[in-house]
Structure 1
Amino acid sequence: MEVKRVFVGAGCNRVVNNVSCGASGLVSFGAQNAVAIFCPKTAQILTTLPGHKASVNCTLWLPNSKFAFKAKQLEQHFLLSGDAEGVIILWEYSLVDAKWRYVLQVPQAHKKGVTCITAIMVSQQEAVFASASSDGTVNVWEVVFPSTRGGDCKLSCSDSLFVGQKPMVALSLAELPGNSKQLVLAMGGLDNKIHLYCGERNGKFLRACELKAHTDWIRSLDLSLPVYVNGETSLLLVSSSQDKGIRIWKMTLQDSSASNKKQQTSLASYIKGPVLVAGSSSYQISMESLLIGHEDWVYSVEWQPPSTSSVEGIECFQPQSILSASMDKTMLIWQPEKTTGIWMNVVTVGELSHCALGFYGGHWSPNADSILAHGYGGSFHLWKDVGIEYDDWKPQKVPSGHFAAVSDIAWARCGEYMMSVSHDQSTRVFAPWLNNTSVENEESWHEIARPQVHGHDINCVTVIKGKGNHRFVGGADEKVARVFESPLSFLKTLSHVTSDNSSFSADIQADVQILGANMSALGLSQKPIYVQAASTPTDRSNTEGFDTLETVPEAVPVVLTEPPIEEQLAWHTLWPESHKLYGHGNELFSLCCDHDGKLVASSCKAQSAPVAEIWLWQVGSWKSVGRLQSHSLTVTQMEFSHDNQYLLAVSRDRHFSVFQINHKGTDEINYQLVAKQEAHKRIIWSCSWNPFGHEFATGSRDKTVKIWTVETETSVKLLLTLPPFKSSVTALSWLGLDSHSNRGLLAVGMENGLIELWNLNSRGGDGHLSVQNASPAVKFDPFLCHVSTVQRLSWRNPQKSEDSETVQLASCGADHCVRIFSVTIT
């Protein structure tokens, strides 16, 4: 059996130094405690690296885009990642076969979280990096990379500096011009000053001087490569702060012979700063420029990487261009005017997005033709310069995903798309977009809609099966379940995505009168926008110019003809809410729908039997048609059998219940408890029915999976217990392979993030009430799996058709990731 990764969707951790652009063209970022790698060309996340036990705070490529000019012959690139517990890990990436390797964990971890990592490539085989932590220390390391792939890295600690009670949150390293043995380390932090330290590569670093000018926390520092102007060798430092300002500092190598001459009194001599002494050289520091243009905290500044064409020997030209990113939702590019030399803002991007909630960092691509920002909502924003004669920056596709734990997933009734809900308070739709540019006509998955943006963490979702329009029910940390119906704009988008005008969409599109939905600024309900209303322009004159809480920008539902970017998703792809289901006494916890689309079952968090009852709702009229009582604590998962005869529920009270459901005519429903049994020693987290029979599986915190069968109308019998797993079992999904021999494949997801597949075969018996035997089919590679709890597993079509060899499995986890795997069954 072969398992391949099809898709990973994940958002970026909301921390400042989290993203790094590598000389390889790939981008790294932290997604909860995974290090995720994405390719800007395909807008796909390529892999996630497991290894951190805590949330990843910062990542840094060696070499990053700044040193791309030194990386031409390199076959291995390296990556550093630091987490919230102070651990730093070094990874190796091989360009030849695109494989990753865990190299080592840096010894002497910081006592608290790592806030920032900076590095310079001294040569192709050597680098020096420094890490800062909230424990008030800055460590400097020298690393020598192996000349062959898979060799050992030599790591030595040059120095550990204690910088005081106010920790440093920004670092930058550079070689001093005219004296390459000496390094300068710039640090900035919560005391509003920039501290400069000097030292040799493998020696101690000594405090050299302080630069005082900013009036609030320093947020970002970047030292340029050496600059040569009029025979003068200098180094430029750019700093940004929460005081909304950006400052450029210049360090000029002082010529010892010229220092004896009488200094001429000029304006420059009055604004000179301190002198930096490093070994036998000294550098005069002066403040070169103050850039004012942002209206909020400036979280990052970065020098443009040198264009690789202008390398002559080692001396490399530093372009006079700076990228800054701010919480005011803009990224600016600054360059000095040709004639006056005054730094001006020449490019502004991002100001139109009313949903980004500010940028946490901005980065150049290695050849400086595109810029990437990551925002407060875990989102990426990429602009590329597509102009030929003049600059023309256009937004590009980027990967997207949730930025908090993903709690549940559900497939559309025919598997056209997958829906996920998360504690980031959003519902997202992911679908395969036939990529017309590729030769093989491959499908690449993208987020195509964000039907619900909510004010509560969303815990569960179910897609309503059966005929009619696309509908789903979502349950959040509120006592109400909400029903959503797909608008016309989504149906039209879906016909683009699936690139076949399937019959259902044409019929439904004729009936749907709602084009999209709008969100009121202070409400939780999404109001419909009707087709007629959208065609007549509304009178907005009275709200022009007033940006108050009451007036939100009008949503304009869009039909997408290519994968959307963040601005479109967050605002223009909402679904209208059609009903609210009132009844539960606590926050909703799980939902499921039967396979005909007639009944929805819901449960909520519960500490007592009356609250733990399961409510049944009739689809369409949305009346409550039943309240099933059996459990005394939260019902964690429910599922209808594939013939809709039984409803299975598992609970924190370690019991499962099987109810028989009978439809008596159109409105009436009869239900009775067939069996209730204590099945495990700990909480039962998950359950799944055999698509071809009345067998079902339960998985528990006691690390076991048990297979049961409904024998008669009144009893359930244990068929089999799988050998104990290494971790709590948190998710199960059963795939039916063959209805005659009752053969199946059970996917098991665990608390440690790993996934296994087990073969279930029937022996003896009459094929229906048979004794099962189980054998392990395949364990997923940890690099494919989640890095923390698997919350839910779901096969795309649980009844596998005879002719297809590959099936798809979706999973979601506490690591903020949604994943889709293809499994080839041989």
Structure 2
Amino acid sequence: MRSTTEYLAAGANRHPSIADWDTSSLLAYGADRNIALWRPQNPHSRGVLSLLAGHTGTVNAVKFVPETQGLLLSGSVDKTLRIWSKDLSTEQYSCIQTLSDHSSSINCIGVSSQPSRIFASGSADATVKIWSFDDQNEATLQQTITVTPKLFPLALALSPLAGAPKSYVLAVAGTKDIIQLYVLDSQQGSQFKLQATLAGHEGWIRSLEFTQERSNPNSDLILSSASQDKYIRLWRIHQGKELPAAAASADPSLGAFLPGKSLSNKAHRFQAQSLDFSATFEALLLGHEDWIYSTKWKAMGDRLQLLSSSADNSLSIWEPDASTGVWVTVTRLGEISAEKGSTTATGSTGGFWTGLWSPSGETVVSLGRTGSWRLWSHDLEQDRWIQGVGVSGHTLPVMGIAWSKEGDYLLSTSTDQTTRLHAKWRRDDQVSWHEMARPQIHGYDLNCIDSLGSSEFVSGADEKLLRVFSEPKAVANLLQKLCGFGGSQIDSMPDAANMPVLGLSNKAIEAIADDEELPAPSHQDRDAIDPASVVHKSTLNLSHPPLEDHLSRHTLWPEIEKLYGHGYEISTLAASRDGSLVATACKASSIDHAVIRIFETKEWHEVKPPLMAHSLTVTRLRFSADDHFLLSVGRDRQWAVFQRVGEGKAEYKLLQQNLKGHSRMILDCAWAPGETRAFATAGREKTVKIWARDGDAGFECRTTITEEAPVTAIDFGDALMSDGKAYLAVGTESGRLRIYTVDIKDDFAVKEIEISYASTYPFPSKPITQLAWKPSKEGDSEAEMELAIASEDSSLRIYSFDDPSVS
């Protein structure tokens, strides 16, 4: 069976060194413990191409090595550096070396912008290590620098010295307000020695980068440093005994920017290859209102531009004024928020963690607090920056997924406290998956979700109650326009939704006309609307998937109901196939709380009494295809089947329970398709058991599948193949996915299917939390099956498989 990757979604980690953009137009960024590869300028908007797995801790730093045809370096909390190499024939990356010399988390990597065989890594063990490549691109440790005074390096910059190309300068900064310059003099051996300490900043320094002032190889080096003191400083490394003009003149007016402070322009002198060099302060860049996380140079001929990203939600592009030489902001992108630091649930305040230039300099991207990438491209004709479609994804474990009843879209929910809606953007002859809405932005970790129909869903979180949401008109119109589905009851829907400043409940609101004035917000009104999240009628009239600003503000769904009753955090829920019932359970350590509550969805009343069978947390609930049975499994190692009392009634009673279904806790269950009453259970003791009944007899174990790791997720495809077999997907704690055929109609024989994956790293790097086959539509003749995979590594994957039985 062949597999095709339809969709990969993973949010980026928050770290200034988390991403790098290669000259081949490939962008790599750390996503949990994986590395995501993305081509931002791909006209087909395919999103993330691949997720590279290998690290066992969160990735902090990613860097491409220039002029090496795709050599990639990554550093992680797991104390290792990994070197990845691209296979030029398949374009796939694989790890070729792991370096484990650091004794703590690696925070930054320094590579030279010009071709060089050395690179540096900085770690929380307060050391910087220098490495060199041999001809086979294998790295060996050359030197360990113990940084004194002791600081944790957060930023490194490495460059050949102008005029002395065989010698290098390394800038190191981090959890102090100084920058240290280490110089490797090729005439004095292969060791870096401390030659200068640059003072002036008043906060931690988060980013350093060198560039040459002009295209002439002997021109001065300029170093940019970005700090938490809200300033950027530029430093000049000049070759020659005489000082550069700016440092020699020592203009006292330079200090006028900062009351009570004078800017030091002390010259730090050193030698390399018998040449004299000086390092001096060059310029102070003022304009950001919060911490500055990163700076990136762009050199176009002799014209320099600097891109900075800040916690004030802005990206700034700086260049020197032609007449005065003073550095000024020529473009500002992002959200220049009035309420700085007000991390409202609906806003994406929290700042930009990094900004990058494309190799051509025509596009910039930035990473925000929500893990999503924003993208702007420069339009030469209009001479302005236009925002385009970026990529987004969860930033913490994805705990629950659910397809809509028709399979048009996929909902995912996560401990990052968001629920996201993913669907296919269809245009001309192109199709690509995107996040189309963010229906729920919450204050609690979200654990489970299920669809109640084409335009409603219910979710459960760590807050003892369930919330039910209904689709607003703004999102329904968007899905109809871009994805080609829905549209039957749009007129009866509310316009949009909005979250009150002090609440967790999304309120339905009317969209306002573009020229309509807003009432002034009152501080006494608890339900006051955040002005930033008011929806104008034209806001979601888009010709492309919503951008991050839209997603986090204007695609909320109004909440229509809360379901109470449980005493602890919600652990699982299931909606009946016809959407008329919701079954729920909560975390429990006693029989009193390990009950299953059923709510009917017409009046939203609880059906009493609650169902009792378990003594510990119920981990999964599933209704059978005709809603005649309800299956529950739990941490108490048992499963229970409840039977509906009478047709069309909401009452269930216990039919059978197996107190020793597995020898360890049962983590998931699934009903087999077809008329045969059969289901599967997944246990921590690394087995999947298939249970079936004959006639009115009880359910008995017919087959056991053994895996190499605890089984955390299973799901049956909802349609039988022509030969009476069903597909069963099995996911484990190690992240492995296997697909089996189960002979439902005959002897329950199980056979594993061999799958050829297009990717080198097709599996999640942490436990799979849930699997969901896309519902098959009646009369749909397509032989392709789609499987959604949620994982603790914060990734959401959708793979399609060709069905060999149909070909």
Which residue in 2 is equivalent to 1:328? 312
> Structure 2: how far apart are the matches of 1:698 and 1:798?
23
TM (normalized to structure 1)?
0.89
Cα distance, 1:663–1:78 mapped onto 2, change above 3 Å = farther
* Match status 1:136 vs 2:126: yes
Counterpart-to-counterpart distance in 1, 2:644 and 2:297? 66
Counterparts of 2:265 and 2:721 in 1: how far apart (Å)? 84
Q: Does 1:774 align with 2:750?
A: yes
**Aligned letter for 1:422?**
S
Letter of the structure 2 residue corresponding to residue 134 of structure 1: A
Aligned counterpart for 1:368 among listed residues 361, 365, 387: 361
Residues 803/677 of structure 1: CA separation in 2 closer, same or farther (3 Å cut): farther
2-structure distance, mates of 1:27, 1:653: 46
The alignment covers a number of residue pairs equal to 769
- How far 1:536 sits from its partner (Å)? 10
Structure-2 change in CA distance of 1:550 and 1:211 (3 Å): farther
Partner of residue 420, structure 2: 428
Q: Following TM superposition, by how much is the alpha carbon of 1:121 offset from its aligned partner in structure 2, in angstroms?
A: 5.5
SS at match of 1:132: strand
| Secondary structure of residue in 2 paired with 1:285 | strand
For residue 61 of structure 2, what is the aligned residue in structure 1?
A: 58
1:233–1:549 Cα change, 3 Å: farther
Q: Report sequence identity in percent.
A: 33
Q: Are 2:509 and 1:529 equivalent residues in the alignment? A: yes
Q: Distance in 2 between matches of 1:36 and 1:648?
A: 38
SS, match of residue 571 in structure 1 = helix
Paired with 2:132 and 2:247, the residues of 1 have a C-alpha distance of 43
* One-letter amino acid matched to 1:248: L
Confirm whether residue 497 of structure 1 aligns to residue 482 of structure 2: yes
Distance 1:546 1:321, change over 3 A: farther
Shift of 1:618: 0.3
Partner Cα distance (2:215, 2:784) in 1: 60
1:354-406: CA deviations, max 9, x gaps?
A: 52420111111111111111112212111111133x63011110111111110
Tell me: CA distance 1:665–1:31, structure 2 relative to 1, closer, same or farther (3 Å): closer
Match of 1:7 in 2: 7
Amino acid at match of 2:790: C
* Aligned counterpart, 1:223: 210
Residue 222 of structure 2 corresponds to residue 246 of structure 1: no
The C-alpha deviation readout for 1:706-764, integer Å capped at 9, x for no partner, is 11113354611110011x212111110111553664311111111111111111125xx
Check whether the contact 2:406–2:777 (CA below 8 A) recurs between aligned residues.
Answer: no
Q: Which runs of 5+ in 1 are unaligned?
A: 64-70, 146-151, 308-316
Measured in 2, the distance between the counterparts of 1:163 and 1:265 equals 31
8 Å contact from structure 2 (residues 407, 776) kept in 1: no
Post-superposition Cα deviations, 1:31-73, rounded to whole Å, max 9, x if no partner, equal 111111111022500000010111111111122xxxxxxx4xx
| Cα contact 2:637–2:663 (8 A) shared by 1 | yes
- For structure 1, which segment, 398-407 or 736-745, has the greater mean C-alpha deviation from structure 2 after superposition? 736-745
- For residues 228 and 371 of structure 1, do their structure 2 counterparts lie closer, same or farther at Cα, with a shift above 3 Å needed? closer
CA deviation string 1:586-623 (max 9, x = no partner): 00011111111111101111111110101111012111
| Aligned partner of residue 748 in structure 2, secondary structure | strand
Distance in 1, Cα, partners of 2:88 & 2:441: 39
> Aligned Cα RMSD in Å?
2.6
Q: Which residue of 781, 789, 810 maps to 2:788?
A: 810
Q: Residues 611-760 of structure 1 correspond to what in structure 2 (within 5 A)?
A: 611-626=593-608, 627-663=610-646, 669-692=651-674, 693-713=676-696, 715-722=698-705, 724-738=706-720, 741-760=723-742
Name the CA distance, whole Å, in 1 between partners of 2:365 and 2:91: 23
Q: Which residue of structure 2 aligns with residue 274 of structure 1?
A: 268
1:311 aligns to what?
none
Is the alpha carbon distance of 1:535 and 1:366 closer, same or farther for their aligned partners in structure 2, counting shifts above 3 Å? closer
Return closer, same or farther for 1:236/1:536 CA change in 2, 3 Å cut-off.
Answer: closer
CA deviations on 1:116-148 (whole Å, 9 max, x unpaired) are 01102653xx53210000010100111145xxx
Alignment CA distance shift 1:190-1:738 (3 Å): closer
> Is structure 2 residue 154 aligned with structure 1 residue 169?
yes
Identify which range, 50-59 or 537-546, moves more after superposition: 537-546
1:771, CA displacement in angstroms? Answer: 2.1
Letter in 2 for 1:363: L
Shift of 1:20: 1.0
**Structure 2 counterpart of 1:718, one-letter code:** C
CA distance in structure 1 between the partners assigned to 2:247 and 2:797 by the alignment: 67
Q: How does 1:760-799 map to 2 (within 5 A)?
A: 760-762=742-744, 767=745, 770-779=746-755, 781=757, 783-797=761-775
**Among candidates 569, 588, 611, match of residue 606 of structure 1:** 588
SS in structure 2 opposite 1:410?
Answer: strand
Q: Is the 8 A contact 2:567 2:593 kept in 1?
A: yes
How far apart, in 2, do the equivalents of 1:536 and 1:385 lie? 26
Cα distance in structure 2, aligned partners of 1:153 and 1:631: 58
Within the candidate set 95, 103, 110, 1:111 is matched to 103
Residue 800 of structure 1 deviates from its aligned partner by 8.4
Whole-angstrom distance in 2 between the partners of 1:539 and 1:360: 34
Deviation, structure 1 residue 683: 1.5
Distance 2:208 2:763 in 1: 36
The alpha-carbon deviation at position 278 of structure 1 amounts to 2.3
- Paired residue for 2:37? 37
What is the deviation of 1:302? 1.3
**CA contact 1:490–1:559 (8 Å) conserved in 2:** no
Whether the 8 Å contact between 2:373 and 2:390 is mirrored in structure 1 is: yes
Asked if the contact 1:224/1:318 (under 8 Å) is kept, the reply is: no
Match among 389, 398, 415 for residue 406 of structure 1: 398
Q: 1:419 aligns with which of 408, 411, 429?
A: 411
Residue 511 (structure 1) aligned to one of 485, 488, 492: 492
1:267 is displaced (CA, Å) by 3.3
Q: Does 1:92 align with 2:47?
A: no
Q: CA offsets, 1:230-281, max 9 Å, x none?
A: x9731111111111111111111015xx79xxx9974379934211322412
User: Which residue is 2:543 aligned to?
Assistant: 561
Q: Give me the whole-angstrom Cα distance separating, in 2, the residues matched to 1:265 and 1:719.
A: 88
Structure 1 residue identity aligned to 2:119: F
Relative distance call for 1:821 and 1:740 in structure 2 (3 A) is: closer
Q: Secondary structure at the match of 1:208?
A: strand
CA pair 77-792 structure 1, distance change in 2 beyond 3 A: same
Offset of residue 225 of structure 1 = 2.8
What is the CA–CA distance in structure 2 between the aligned matches of 1:326 and 1:580, rounded to whole Å?
A: 39
* Secondary structure of the structure 2 residue equivalent to 1:497: helix
Unaligned 5+ segments in structure 2 are 253-263, 338-346
What is the SS of the residue equivalent to 2:55? Answer: coil
Q: Structure 1 residues 300, 121: closer, same or farther in 2, change over 3 A? A: closer
Tell me if structure 1 keeps the 8 A contact 2:312–2:336.
no
The answer on whether the counterparts of 2:718 and 2:775 sit within 8 Å (CA) in structure 1 is no
Q: Quote the residue 1:67 is aligned against.
A: none
Determine helix, strand or coil for the equivalent of 2:491: helix
Residue identity opposite 1:138 in structure 2: V
Partner of 1:66: none
Are the counterparts in 2 of residues 225 and 318 from structure 1 also a CA contact under 8 Å?
A: no
Distance 2:550 2:110 in 1: 35
Deviations 1:329-353 (A, max 9, x none): 0111110111111111111001356
- Alpha-carbon distance in structure 2 between the residues aligned to 1:729 and 1:445: 28
SS at match of 1:194: strand
Which amino acid is 1:141 matched to? W
Name the structure 1 match of 2:386. 394
